[in-house]
Structure 1
Amino acid sequence: MAERLDGQHVLLTGVTGFVGEALLLLLLSDVPGVRVTVLVRPKGSTSAAARTAALLRKPAFADVVEAAGGVDELMAARVDVLEGDLADAPVLPSGLHAVVHCAGDVSFDPPVDEGFRTNVQGTRELLARVREAGPDLHYVHISTAYVAGRRRGSIPEGPVDHDVDLEAELAWGLSQRRVVEHQSRSATVLERERRKAERTHSRAGLLTAAAATESARKEWVKRELVRIGSERARSLGWTDCYTFTKALGERVVEQHARDAAQPRRVSIVRPSIIESALERPYPGWIEGFKMAEPLILAYGRGELPEFPSSPDTIVDIVPVDHVVAAIVAVLAHPPEPGDPAYFHVSSGDRNPLTFRVLYDTIRGYFDEHPFAAGDRGAARLPDWRFPGASSVERLLTTSERAHKVADYVVGHAPRGDRTRDLARKLDQQGRRLEFLRRYLDLYREYAQAELRFSDAQTHALYRSLSAEDRASFGFDTAVIDWPHYLGDVHCPAVTAPVRRMDEARRKRRAASDPVLKPVREGSAVAAFFDMDGTLLSSNVIETYLWLRLREQSGTERWGEIGRVAAKVPALVRAERRERSAFLRAVYRQYEGARLADLDAIADEHLTDHVLSRLSPDAVRRIREHRNAGQRTVLITGAIRPLTRPLAPLFDHIEAADLAVDDRGVCTGFLASSPLVGESRAAWMRSYAAAHGIDLAASYGYADSHSDLPLLEAVGRPVVVKPDVSLYRHARRQRWTIVDWASSESNGRSLNPAGGLG
């Protein structure tokens, strides 16, 4: 084959993908007489040439690069870069002998317009350029065996029989984004998403809720485009939008081959499920997660209790080195013009792998090499009994309903360590259920497919090769020993990077606090702290009673506690709706108090108590920031007298100021609107601008979802013993979460001066 291809100039698409990368490597290493042009699109500010050079610097290419004397030398001698995109394919270079089209959308559930744009329109655009480049080019199209769709039985290597109107479906698919975007702005969709966002984010602010609404609208568009594509595909006999658009892409290729005016040489290669290399460039070589990896990893973690397949159903897997070896063989043996050649690169017909063997082998691997499950030792592996798809669906549906009820309860439970722990466990379960739902819906058809892809033509091509070529370009899948490949090659390869990530996570969790990061030369950094719940284990109602009860006699104190207790339900409802309304309602209770008396009480009676309630971890953290030369700022909705004991710790304190009359008596109102939610972020931006502070390098510390804008305003947010909503948001954003211990001397006295405990 090296002789057949000697002196040829081949254009490859999709070399930044797994198959294209493997094919480029094989051509460079084993077909020395071939010159390759790669069609690569720029990515951001990175040019196509730079992306190609980065590709060639990967470890898999090390031997080829070393033999050439370096990446630059290899590119100069054998690899040309054609910058462009299939959406607007550039003019192809002159002197081409063949084009291998590996690029395409390989997601099973792409948005419908993206699937059509890449797999159908992109193929058509490329073929238009192929026709311009010359009449005798050999075009090799990489498709998928699953273009057979929902058929059953033996699938021959030939065209898929269907009468779908290609032009009508293409026009429809490309138009759907505009249609769905229009629907997403309807009052029905917007009102539903806005109400959900406001229920979650109203305490943080209406703009935060608005941003969440818009984010939800965009997610709705994406989901709807996926749903529409899947439903259209299934209505016409395909499993999903991926296989549907790949089948229509093949029809475009067939039209190109059978052009009555100028018949052309076309080969269509259909791999089944492509997984890691059996041997080359080394056993287990794989780039990214493919079809089976998420399922293997989920099973190893004990998170895949069942699968909707039968134990005797064939799962058709083929190693990537077999796929690219077959492509090179096809490339070296072009068919006659006008007579497309079809090749299945598959294993199920002559060397079937059943789900039972797959399950037993993977279970055996994890029995010997288990994942750790935290402090509980090895993850417990589920016992698959293959009860059937309907039973798996019922189990999943019941679990989803139970999770929804539990999630509602936890979301409305009082804040605390136990509530956060329950939320964490529920979130883990929710992610597991989402994973199961996604893969059950996505893979159900493949898990139940009664397909056997005949590879007679592919095997005949292999048998026609010389003994030397069979050794160098092996693609006879009958030789694969499945227990060896899965247990000794594939599973170790796909679990190794996950084990490394798990170890890195354990090391990060070992540090209870974030490390102070170095500051850029010449930049000013601040650390912004919330007070109640973050520095102090207290709340606004409690701190109100600290001040008010000190002024009153024993009988009056009990009356005040009863009066406040009666208002708690209404105050809680106000706090959940809008934090500023809640604060105003509490501070109305200061009407008639003298501000000077409140200051005196704070100085004379509350200083020791407030300082005793401070978390030692919080004090240590504040001092670390000050020692690092960073400005410390307390920003709180508490009234200013309560912050007086904390003044030595902070460079600036921004607190609520009570309005007073000309006698210094509190009116029950505030001097200005309280800084809560989005107003905190606005104040921080103003403060930073006035003091030359780099917010992107600054820190924020808070505990409540209402403080979300404060945390989002800085580049280094830290969440302290958060409520459930903030805890979940922080985990999604990968923010630092700390659990600062309360002071050992912490007491819950409502009257620190004595008389009530």
Structure 2
Amino acid sequence: MTGSVADQLDNQHILLTGVTGFVGEALLQLMLAEVPGVRLTVLVRGKGSTSGTARTASLLGKPIFADVVEAAGGVEALMASRVAVLEGDLSDPPALPTDLDAIVHCAGDVSFDPPVDEGFRTNVQGTRELLARVREAGSDIHYVHISTAYVAGRRRGSIPEGPVPQVVDLEAELAWGLSQRQEIEHRSRGTEILTAERKRAEKEHSRAGLLTAANATEEARKQWVKDELVRVGTERARSLGWTDCYTFTKALGERVVEEHARTNRVSIVRPSIIESALEKPYPGWIEGFKMMEPLILAYGRGELPEMPGAPDTTVDVVPVDHVVAAIVAVLASPPEVGDPAYFHVSSGDRNPLTFSNLYECVRGYFDEHPFQSGDRGATRLPEWRFPGAQQVERLLSTSERAFKVADYVIGHAPRSDRARDLARKLDQQGRRLEFLRRYMGLYQEYAQAELRYSDKNTLALYRSLSEEDQRTFAFDTAVVDWKVYLQDIHCPAVTAPIRRLDEVRAARRRPSATTQKALVEKPGVAAFFDMDGTLLSSNVIETYLWLRLRELSGTERFSELSRMAAKVPSLVAAERRERSAFLRSVYREYDGARLADLDAIADEFLTDHVLARLSPGAVRRIREHRAAGHQTVLITGAVRPLTRPLLPLFDHIEAAELATDDRGICTGYLASSPLVGESRAAWMESYAAEHGIDLKASFGYADSHSDLPLLAAVGNPVAVRPDVPLFRHARKARWTIVDWSSSTTSTRTLNPAGGRS
């Protein structure tokens, strides 16, 4: 190179894409800081209501730009003098400035497993659209394409800096990839997919209602589409010799660039695994999670028991500041027209980091700086033995089968604090297994890659720089001390935000789980309460016996208890299938009872018992709502006589009405369908409209998965000692969960009224 890098680029006008991404942001910062004579235009699309110009101004407000912003006199002054914004998107790029000297294309889909159509649209079609605009803008523009070293795919051995051999029909693959969303959406609406998802949803949500199950079916269909778009992209890539859809589409993008290179100046830069900065803008600078971060954090959490790679396999890592320094040097050394230049920015050929080295360095860091597991102290770190991919797969498959068995058992267990605690721990384990399955699938190819990327061209470029430029634009990866980099720079940077988040979570856990915010006095607000399991630790069968046993003699009581005990299994099965059918079965038992007598029993014998069984926490909450001027409403599947003791607490009680004949004798039927599942939500909407209630500002309290529609209908849902399915949904939806324990003075008896007088 003749002259310094800054001299070579002085007075040049360069367009950058992808500056809101990790590499693009680092490149923008380096050029503003170290190449003062360059004028930049950045292609940035608007996002929502935020324009590309506003996004760029926000970007330049970040700490890494502080020095150049201050030197320029502020963000506006910097943008006016050196950073112009071209509003647009790669899907339909705008016309480019006609005085450009060079373009660096950093933008692209960098996910390893993008939906196949998105990967093709961004990495192949987007590149083609941009290059069409480049040709319109001028004939001597140096186009620098940022690709990846992994376009080499599943090849082995030394990989030269040159074109990747391909026997692929570019146009056919592009047309196929872009058509997959429409095809898979069409397949998702076929009976094979819908029937399976509907049956699964109805089995899980039938107690809540068929509409709830229908909504769950549609969500499952959409998720199937996303998963299938990823799966078909991965399978097509591997069938052609690439590791995944990302490397496949990036390789095809290079094909598009190589066609452009026949009549234009083109350089292709291929970084390997880009991680945090070694030195600039400061050691450890990183934004977002890249390739290694999820694995490092999972290991530090004790959640990554093994790695499917061989201990001597190379993990080709390069710091981001080396990547962008190399890009600037490439910009300053344009190739001849028709002779594209290729540069690997990698470390594995001259300074290899093996999986065993990586493991030892990361373990050493966490030995000194462990994560804390709550009250149990430092997290126990797994000991990797590198048993091979097949053994790791067997271990993972065995764990997944054990999880399914445990999940079934917990899902059918009686509700209790222990069941909820086990469900919480099991859900954590399930998320870990999902993480392991996903990342093992993604990274196994990389963990077993037996290749080395030659970086002779890149090293020659580095050596052509002056000594001063070699210090300013350092990209010789042979100088990286991996132990120092990983233990003193990278791991601290990666774990710092997680440690801060852990501290925040620990602070949030300190208050009691039952603590709720004080209620605000506001008109048009209601609080809707379920009864059995929410206000009272009771159920429909139990409350039936409270009323029924009062009318019977000692012998008759024993017979009635025996008869109901024999029916419990069938009643429980009915309740799990459909709540309304269960209630109808129980209320058939009231056939022949006099409704007036039931009212009298409730008033005379059950009032004290019911009030004693009320949770003190529930009573306090009801009174808080009333003090705030909120309407209090009880919605229950219990028969109305059993709600009589609760009349003073509620403005309205909606209960099951027993049908009677003209003599007041119960027929064993209900006067109308019971309010369960979705019918509760429908009733609430009607009640709210009639009484001027704002449901979004209102509250709901319930304990059962069958009450999911009730809770979903209000803006402030509260799960009270929930069963396992509701507990899981509440945690996922971030609903409030409280534990209103029963009164310690109440007695658990099926005959609270005592003997007959």
2:240 alignment counterpart: 236
240-249 or 662-671: which moved more?
662-671
Mapped to 2, the partners of 1:118 and 1:688 lie a distance apart of: 48
1:601 alignment counterpart: 601
Seen in structure 2, the aligned counterparts of structure 1 residues 619 and 176 have a Cα distance that, compared at 3 Å, is: same
1:417 alignment counterpart: 417
2:480 alignment counterpart: 480
Residue of 168, 180, 183 corresponding to 1:179: 183
Map residues 398-413 of structure 1 onto 2, 5 A cutoff: 398-413=398-413
2:94 alignment counterpart: 90
Map residues 154-233 of structure 1 onto 2, 5 A cutoff: 154-233=158-237
Q: Does 1:635 align with 2:639?
A: no
Identity of aligned residues (%): 79
Map residues 429-440 of structure 1 onto 2, 5 A cutoff: 429-440=429-440
134-143 or 660-669: which moved more?
660-669
Deviations 1:377-424 (A, max 9, x none): 111100001111111111111111121122122222222222222222
Shift of 1:458: 0.8
2:510 alignment counterpart: 510
Shift of 1:47: 1.7
Mapped to 2, the partners of 1:698 and 1:346 lie a distance apart of: 58
Shift of 1:659: 2.0
Seen in structure 2, the aligned counterparts of structure 1 residues 127 and 206 have a Cα distance that, compared at 3 Å, is: same
Q: Secondary structure at the match of 2:655?
A: strand
Mapped to 2, the partners of 1:696 and 1:507 lie a distance apart of: 29
The amino acid across from 2:563 in the alignment is R
- Alignment TM-score, normalising by the size of structure 1: 0.97
2:558 alignment counterpart: 558
Number of equivalent positions: 751
Shift of 1:105: 0.8
Q: Does 1:6 align with 2:10?
A: yes
Mapped to 2, the partners of 1:488 and 1:57 lie a distance apart of: 28
Q: Is the 8 A contact 1:86 1:123 kept in 2?
A: yes
Q: Does 1:135 align with 2:153?
A: no
Q: Secondary structure at the match of 1:281?
A: coil
Mapped to 1, the partners of 2:122 and 2:18 lie a distance apart of: 11
Shift of 1:300: 0.6
Deviations 1:18-53 (A, max 9, x none): 111111111222222222222122222222222222
Shift of 1:346: 0.8
Shift of 1:728: 1.6
Deviations 1:211-264 (A, max 9, x none): 111111111111111111111111111001110000000000000111xxxx10
Seen in structure 2, the aligned counterparts of structure 1 residues 164 and 370 have a Cα distance that, compared at 3 Å, is: same
Q: Secondary structure at the match of 1:359?
A: helix
The amino acid across from 2:215 in the alignment is A
Mapped to 2, the partners of 1:280 and 1:626 lie a distance apart of: 60
Shift of 1:726: 1.3
The amino acid across from 1:231 in the alignment is E
Q: Secondary structure at the match of 1:528?
A: strand
Shift of 1:610: 1.3
1:374 alignment counterpart: 374
Seen in structure 2, the aligned counterparts of structure 1 residues 522 and 31 have a Cα distance that, compared at 3 Å, is: farther
136-145 or 46-55: which moved more?
46-55
Deviations 1:521-541 (A, max 9, x none): 976322222111112111111
Shift of 1:755: 4.5
Shift of 1:60: 2.3
User: Which stretches in structure 1 are left out of the alignment for 5+ residues?
Assistant: none
Shift of 1:90: 1.3
Q: Secondary structure at the match of 1:653?
A: strand
424-433 or 227-236: which moved more?
424-433
Q: Is the 8 A contact 2:12 2:101 kept in 1?
A: yes
Q: Does 1:668 align with 2:668?
A: yes
475-484 or 619-628: which moved more?
619-628
Q: Is the 8 A contact 2:311 2:386 kept in 1?
A: yes
Cα RMSD (Å) of the superposition? 1.6
Q: Is the 8 A contact 2:372 2:379 kept in 1?
A: yes
Q: Does 1:358 align with 2:358?
A: yes
2:450 alignment counterpart: 450
The amino acid across from 1:169 in the alignment is E
The amino acid across from 2:194 in the alignment is L
Q: Is the 8 A contact 1:306 1:385 kept in 2?
A: yes
1:18 alignment counterpart: 22
Q: Secondary structure at the match of 2:457?
A: helix
Q: Does 1:58 align with 2:41?
A: no
The amino acid across from 1:360 in the alignment is E
Shift of 1:623: 2.5
445-454 or 699-708: which moved more?
699-708
499-508 or 161-170: which moved more?
499-508
Q: Is the 8 A contact 1:89 1:125 kept in 2?
A: yes
Seen in structure 2, the aligned counterparts of structure 1 residues 755 and 737 have a Cα distance that, compared at 3 Å, is: same
Mapped to 1, the partners of 2:292 and 2:722 lie a distance apart of: 37
2:753 alignment counterpart: 753
User: Which stretches in structure 2 are left out of the alignment for 5+ residues?
Assistant: none
Mapped to 1, the partners of 2:45 and 2:690 lie a distance apart of: 44
Seen in structure 2, the aligned counterparts of structure 1 residues 382 and 68 have a Cα distance that, compared at 3 Å, is: same
Mapped to 2, the partners of 1:498 and 1:391 lie a distance apart of: 31
Map residues 506-655 of structure 1 onto 2, 5 A cutoff: 506-511=506-511, 512-513=513-514, 515-516=516-517, 524-655=524-655
Mapped to 2, the partners of 1:641 and 1:492 lie a distance apart of: 64
Q: Secondary structure at the match of 1:654?
A: strand
Deviations 1:672-705 (A, max 9, x none): 2111111111122222222333222322221111
Deviations 1:547-585 (A, max 9, x none): 111222222222221222222122111111111111111
Deviations 1:616-671 (A, max 9, x none): 22222222333333332222211222222222222322222222223322222222
Deviations 1:112-170 (A, max 9, x none): 11111111011101111111111011111110000000001111111101121100111
Q: Is the 8 A contact 2:519 2:625 kept in 1?
A: no
Q: Secondary structure at the match of 1:667?
A: strand
Mapped to 2, the partners of 1:524 and 1:479 lie a distance apart of: 69
Shift of 1:320: 1.0
Seen in structure 2, the aligned counterparts of structure 1 residues 595 and 57 have a Cα distance that, compared at 3 Å, is: farther
Mapped to 2, the partners of 1:83 and 1:518 lie a distance apart of: 47
Q: Is the 8 A contact 2:284 2:489 kept in 1?
A: yes
Mapped to 2, the partners of 1:688 and 1:93 lie a distance apart of: 59
Q: Secondary structure at the match of 1:533?
A: coil
Q: Does 1:48 align with 2:52?
A: yes
Q: Secondary structure at the match of 2:90?
A: coil
Q: Is the 8 A contact 2:588 2:669 kept in 1?
A: yes
Residue of 124, 127, 131 corresponding to 2:128: 124
2:331 alignment counterpart: 331
The amino acid across from 2:559 in the alignment is G
Q: Is the 8 A contact 1:514 1:736 kept in 2?
A: no
